[in-house]
């Protein structure tokens, strides 16, 4: 009975930002575990990759903001990664047939974590430009750690628009916040902007120009 009361009290005290954080954790954990399974990692290795993807960006954010690291005070985040691993194990065949599984969950996690990073930074009474930086870090840093662990070039360092999608969402967040929009509308607008920017960039192969080491030689006229 006491356990049920504790669970009820936990759910009654949960905030919308925490719900976004938990869903983002689950989505990012699945994206990391999905890539780990493609590399044929064992269950423990897949869990480590999923956890690093889910909590890596938020950990860096909290350290830089000099606030308690979120997952050290709430074991639900690591449990959420465990649930994501169980989900991938049970529905592996279904996920394999979904060719865009990694991309979908990664884009969702990117959008949700950008919202969380920006809002938590603003709650620390820091300016919006710092919040955009922290939102981008929260969204993209976990993916960088994931790609390093599986020995891939991080998406943020490729031509694909990844971290820039977080920046776009941060600008939208700032505009909505400056306009006096409700938090729910601001969060939805920010997440939608990040998700659509990422999806449209991949669909239409929109990318940033690459930095070349030296200018290409000019063709001489014959």
**pLDDT attached to residue 5:** 61
When pLDDT is cut at 50, 70 and 90, the band that residue 57 belongs to is very high
Average pLDDT, the chain: 86
When pLDDT is cut at 50, 70 and 90, the band that residue 16 belongs to is confident
Per-residue pLDDT, averaged over 9-33, amounts to: 80
**pLDDT attached to residue 209:** 82
When pLDDT is cut at 50, 70 and 90, the band that residue 96 belongs to is low
Name which of 156, 157, 108 is nearest 136 in CA terms: 156
Q: If DSSP states are collapsed to H, E and C, what string results for 124-153?
A: CCCCHHHHHHHHHHHHHHHHHHHHHHCCCC
The ranges assigned to domains in the chain are 12-203
**pLDDT attached to residue 154:** 86
Residue 10 near residue 65 (C-beta atoms within 8 A): no
**pLDDT attached to residue 222:** 47
Per-residue pLDDT, averaged over 188-198, amounts to: 95
């Amino acid at each position: 009975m006491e356990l049920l009361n504790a669970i009820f009290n936990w759910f009654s005290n949960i905030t919308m930002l925490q719900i976004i954080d938990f869903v983002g954790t689950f989505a990012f954990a699945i994206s990391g575990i999905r890539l780990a399974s493609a590399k044929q990692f064992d269950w423990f290795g897949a869990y480590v990759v999923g956890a690093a993807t889910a909590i890596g960006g938020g950990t860096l954010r909290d350290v830089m903001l000099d606030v308690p690291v979120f997952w050290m005070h709430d074991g639900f985040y690591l449990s959420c990664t465990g649930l994501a691993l169980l989900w991938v194990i049970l529905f592996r065949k279904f996920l394999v047939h979904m060719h865009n599984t990694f991309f979908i969950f990664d884009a969702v996690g990117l959008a949700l974590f950008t919202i969380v990073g920006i809002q938590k930074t603003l709650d620390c009474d820091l300016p919006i430009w710092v919040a955009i930086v922290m939102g981008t870090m929260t969204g993209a840093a976990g993916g960088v750690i994931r790609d390093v662990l599986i020995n891939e070039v991080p998406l943020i360092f490729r031509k694909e628009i990844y971290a820039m999608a977080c920046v776009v969402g941060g600008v939208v967040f700032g505009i909505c916040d400056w306009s006096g929009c409700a938090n729910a509308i601001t969060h939805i607008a920010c997440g939608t902007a990040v998700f659509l920017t990422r999806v449209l960039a991949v669909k239409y192969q929109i990318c940033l120009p690459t930095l070349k080491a030296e200018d290409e030689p000019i063709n001489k006229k014959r």
